[in-house]
Amino acid sequence: MVQKRLLLALIALATCGLLGVPAIAPVDAQGLADRRPRDDNAIEPGGYSLDDAVELAQSRDRAKAVKAETVEEQGRRVHYIRLLSAEGRVWTVRVDAATGRMQ
The boundaries of the domain holding residue 72 are 24-96
Strand partners, 90: 84
Residues 32-58: b if buried by 16+ CB within 10 A, e if exposed: bbeeeeeeeebbeeeebbbebbbebbb
Does a structural domain hold residue 86?
yes
Does a structural domain hold residue 5?
no
Q: Examine the pLDDT at 21 and tell me if it is beyond 70.
A: no
Quote the pLDDT of residue 43.
45
- DSSP at 103: -
Mean pLDDT, residues 77-101 = 96
- What domain count does the chain have? 1
Quote the pLDDT of residue 69.
97
Does a structural domain hold residue 42?
yes
Residues 23-79 pLDDT 10s: 555 555 555 544 444 443 344 556 999 999 999 999 999 999 999 999 999 999 999
Distance CA 85, CA 65 (A): 9
Does a structural domain hold residue 103?
no
pLDDT bucket at 12, cuts 50 / 70 / 90: low
Quote the pLDDT of residue 35.
47
**The dihedral formed by the CA atoms of 74, 78, 82 and 86, expressed in degrees to the nearest 10:** -130
Does a structural domain hold residue 11?
no
